[in-house]
């Protein structure tokens, strides 16, 4: 059969990152094509380019032999390309039928023809075998049903290419099965499905062909999935040269510093326990959504705990709120610097001393000399590149902003446990190794450090030990001597078989 969807030498760069370089592959008509890769491999960027949300720097997309020039999501719609994201795009307060017609309601002079509205929809839903009442509000549907409606919307728009981004991430196993049979029917109708998933079992269950991306490049293209093995795909996902930009060196580890026991919360229902020693850098690896950040936020007291204890140097910390954690010596550099880290519109100095200024402010009156001196000290120590401490933090590069956040905690003094979530996301290579050096120095001074990262090479490069998380649980605890990319990645990938037994157990 002929190629229906073709990517030709697609490249796309963002400031500091080449997200895609020269990616070319094609998909046959009526095929379900899998797209795999680690976090940051370029899958989302490719999907965005396909959806018209962003345009590629170079390269072109062909559909049925015709070159596409669309510049917006709307143009992509007209070309028959529809991307279904993890966050669904339905209006909860409207009915299923209304959602499916949204933007082009049938009727005359602004009066909606209700008969046509539901009539056409019920016919269409029956045709593709979706069992949902078109007259109920979307708000009353389950996530799985909403996903079906989203797909029905694509079918209503006569989509020729449907891309699904991690569609089963929030579905139960039964809902997933219903989704799979729907995908099978669409395939039979000749629709091209691009299926992005981390779950190898699903890929093998559904896909006819597969593309693996790595570091923005095409790592492998398999026109026939029956000729590849699970292990082969994993090595294609990770198979990179590891350059030694990490600068890790042996450190002597002291006594246990942080101990977390059976901690759990609303977003992390299975209790988690671990401990970190003085001078140790513990890496947390997992796919996005594995629960690493949620774990750190619970330890820090940023989110309410359901249970569990945190102790530092053998002393249990009773309260769970950021101010208490800071006073007990536990701090967190959050994952999303822009939304949870920096205070935009305020100076480097204020951002740095936001917590520590209480130490030199008798009766709450700040001593500006001491504040300035402290800020200057850490600007110099952490090599923050800025003309002045009064500079608005928004003007700094990502790496320098991260250093200011580090300075915020180092100026506290008495920090015993530093948790840092995605320490170098969006940071250029030079600043990256500076930040690693800072972490090594702090560890050498006896701090216990928890590094959370979605980048496997980074965790393997700088951690003394790695905890792998998968779907809210700790899947593996691996010392540095036994680091092995495949083993770590295999532990991080969810297994549908396990998930099934678990969700059944929960039902009972």
Partner 1 sequence: MTSLKKLLLGEQGLVVIFALAFLVVSLTVPNFLTERNMLGLLQSVVTIGIVACTMMFCLASRDFDLSVGSTVAFSGMVAVMASNATGSILLGLVAALICGGLVGTVNGVVIARFRINALITTLATMQIVRGLALIASDGRAVGINDPSFYQLALSRFLGIPTPIWVMALFFVAFGFLLNRTVFGKNTLAIGGNPEASRLAGVDVARMRIWIFALQGLVCAVAGVLLASRITSGQPNAATGLELSVISACVLGGVSLAGGRAAMTGVIVGVLIMGIAENVMNLLNIQAFYQYVVRGLILLMAVLLDNLRSSAAGRRA
Closest to partner 1 by CB, 223 or 426:
426
Least Å from the CB of residue 39 to partner 1: 23
Site string for partner 1, 289-308 (x = CB under 8 A): -----------x-x------
What is the rounded (10 degree) CA torsion for 82, 88, 93, 99? 10
Q: Does residue number 344 form part of the binding site for partner 1 (CB under 8 A)?
A: yes
Least Å from the CB of residue 472 to partner 1: 22
CA 490 – CA 486 distance, rounded (Å):
6
Which part of the chain contacts partner 1 (CB under 8 A), choosing from 131-139, 175-183, 316-324, 448-456? 316-324
Element (H, E) at 237: helix 230-238
What is the rounded (10 degree) CA torsion for 410, 412, 276, 427? -30
Contact in structure between 459 and 291 (CB atoms under 8 Å) = no
Beta strands in 49-198, from DSSP E residues, in sequence order:
58-63, 66-68, 81-84, 107-108, 111-112, 161-165, 192-196
Q: Does residue number 346 form part of the binding site for partner 1 (CB under 8 A)?
A: yes
Give the residue, chosen from 85, 251, 358, 381, that forms a contact with partner 1 under the rule CB under 8 A: 358
Closest to partner 1 by CB, 20 or 342:
342
Contact in structure between 462 and 246 (CB atoms under 8 Å) = yes
CA 32 – CA 187 distance, rounded (Å):
7
Give the residue, chosen from 58, 232, 395, 501, that forms a contact with partner 1 under the rule CB under 8 A: 395
Query: Tokens 């580090």 correspond to what residue?
Result: 406
Site size toward partner 1, by CB under 8 A: 31
Least Å from the CB of residue 436 to partner 1: 23
Q: Does residue number 397 form part of the binding site for partner 1 (CB under 8 A)?
A: no
Closest to partner 1 by CB, 154 or 302:
302
Q: How far apart, in Å, are the Cα atoms of 459 and each of 253, 374, 441, 451?
A: 18, 31, 17, 7
CA 474 – CA 472 distance, rounded (Å):
7
Q: Which residues face 421 on adjacent strands?
A: 452
Which part of the chain contacts partner 1 (CB under 8 A), choosing from 1-9, 56-64, 236-244, 357-365? 357-365
Q: Does residue number 143 form part of the binding site for partner 1 (CB under 8 A)?
A: no
DSSP string computed for 30-43: T-EEEEE--TTSSH
Give the residue, chosen from 245, 304, 373, 394, that forms a contact with partner 1 under the rule CB under 8 A: 394
Q: Does residue number 378 form part of the binding site for partner 1 (CB under 8 A)?
A: no
Which part of the chain contacts partner 1 (CB under 8 A), choosing from 53-61, 185-193, 348-356, 452-460? 348-356
CA 461 – CA 275 distance, rounded (Å):
20
Which of 362, 291, 355 shows the shortest CA–CA distance to 325? 355
Pairing of strands 465-470, 448-453: unpaired
Rounded to 5°, angle at Cα 296 from 264 and 333:
160
Site string for partner 1, 406-445 (x = CB under 8 A): --x-------------------------------------
Query: Tokens 């940071």 correspond to what residue?
Result: 427
Q: Does residue number 343 form part of the binding site for partner 1 (CB under 8 A)?
A: yes
Give the residue, chosen from 150, 166, 350, 434, that forms a contact with partner 1 under the rule CB under 8 A: 350
Contact in structure between 390 and 375 (CB atoms under 8 Å) = no
Q: Does residue number 340 form part of the binding site for partner 1 (CB under 8 A)?
A: yes
CA 471 – CA 474 distance, rounded (Å):
8
Q: What is the DSSP letter of 339?
A: I
Helix (H, G, I), strand (E, B) or coil at 164: strand
Closest to partner 1 by CB, 64 or 303:
303
Q: Does residue number 155 form part of the binding site for partner 1 (CB under 8 A)?
A: no
**CB neighbour class for 153 (10 Å; exposed up to 12, middle 13-18, buried from 19):** buried
Least Å from the CB of residue 363 to partner 1: 8
Q: Does residue number 322 form part of the binding site for partner 1 (CB under 8 A)?
A: yes
Least Å from the CB of residue 164 to partner 1: 31
Q: Does residue number 48 form part of the binding site for partner 1 (CB under 8 A)?
A: no
Closest to partner 1 by CB, 336 or 482:
336
Q: Does residue number 364 form part of the binding site for partner 1 (CB under 8 A)?
A: yes
Q: Does residue number 345 form part of the binding site for partner 1 (CB under 8 A)?
A: yes
Q: Does residue number 315 form part of the binding site for partner 1 (CB under 8 A)?
A: no
CA 162 – CA 262 distance, rounded (Å):
42
Give the residue, chosen from 59, 329, 334, 457, that forms a contact with partner 1 under the rule CB under 8 A: 334
Give the footprint of partner 1 on this chain (CB under 8 A).
300, 302, 321-323, 325-326, 332, 334, 339-346, 350, 354-355, 357-358, 361, 364-366, 368, 392, 394-395, 408
């Amino acid at each position: 059969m002929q190629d229906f969807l073709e990517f030709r030498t697609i490249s796309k760069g963002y400031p500091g990152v080449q997200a895609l370089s020269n990616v070319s592959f094609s998909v046959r008509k009526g095929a379900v094509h899998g797209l795999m890769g680690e976090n940051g491999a370029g899958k989302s960027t490719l999907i965005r380019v396909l959806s018209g949300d962003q345009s590629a720097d170079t390269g072109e997309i062909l559909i049925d032999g015709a070159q596409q020039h669309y510049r917006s999501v709307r143009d992509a719609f007209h070309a028959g390309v529809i991307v279904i994201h993890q966050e669904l795009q339905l209006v909860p307060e409207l009915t299923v039928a209304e959602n499916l017609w949204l933007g082009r309601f049938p009727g005359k002079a602004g009066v909606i023809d209700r008969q046509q509205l539901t009539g056409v929809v019920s016919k269409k839903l029956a045709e593709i075998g979706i069992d949902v009442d078109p007259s109920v509000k979307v708000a009353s549907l389950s996530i799985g049903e909403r996903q079906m409606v989203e797909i029905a919307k694509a079918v209503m728009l006569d989509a020729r290419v449907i891309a699904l981004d991690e569609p089963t991430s929030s579905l139960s196993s039964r809902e997933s099965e219903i989704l799979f049979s729907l995908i099978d029917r669409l395939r039979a109708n000749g629709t091209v499905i691009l299926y992005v998933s981390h779950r190898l079992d699903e890929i093998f269950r559904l896909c006819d062909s597969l593309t693996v991306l790595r570091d923005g490049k095409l790592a492998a293209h398999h026109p026939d999935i029956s000729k590849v093995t699970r292990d082969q795909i994993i090595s294609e996902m990770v198979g990179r040269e590891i350059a030694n930009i990490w600068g890790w060196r042996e450190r002597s580890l002291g006594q246990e510093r942080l101990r977390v026991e059976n901690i759990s919360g609303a977003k992390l229902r299975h209790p988690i326990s671990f401990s970190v020693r003085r001078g140790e850098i513990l890496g947390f690896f997992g796919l996005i959504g594995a629960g690493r950040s949620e774990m750190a936020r619970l330890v820090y007291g940023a989110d309410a705990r359901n249970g569990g204890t945190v102790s530092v140097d053998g002393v249990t910390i009773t309260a769970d709120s950021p101010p208490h954690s800071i006073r007990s010596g536990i701090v967190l550099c959050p994952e999303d610097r822009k939304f949870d880290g920096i205070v935009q519109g305020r100076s480097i100095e204020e951002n740095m001393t936001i917590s520590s200024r209480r130490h030199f402010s008798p009766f709450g009156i700040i001593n500006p000399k001491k504040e300035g001196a402290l800020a200057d000290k850490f600007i110099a120590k952490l090599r923050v590149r800025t003309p002045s401490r009064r500079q608005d933090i928004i003007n700094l590069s990502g790496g320098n902003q991260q250093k200011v956040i580090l300075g915020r905690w180092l100026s506290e003094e008495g920090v015993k446990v530093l948790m840092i979530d995605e320490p170098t996301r969006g940071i250029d290579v030079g600043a990256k190794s500076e930040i690693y050096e800072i972490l090594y120095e702090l560890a050498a001074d006896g701090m216990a450090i928890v590094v959370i990262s979605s980048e496997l090479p980074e965790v393997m490069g700088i951690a003394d030990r790695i905890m792998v998380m998968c779907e809210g649980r700790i899947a593996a605890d691996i010392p540095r001597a036994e680091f092995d990319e495949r083993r770590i990645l295999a532990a991080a990938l969810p297994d549908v078989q396990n998930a099934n037994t678990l969700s059944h157990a929960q039902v009972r």
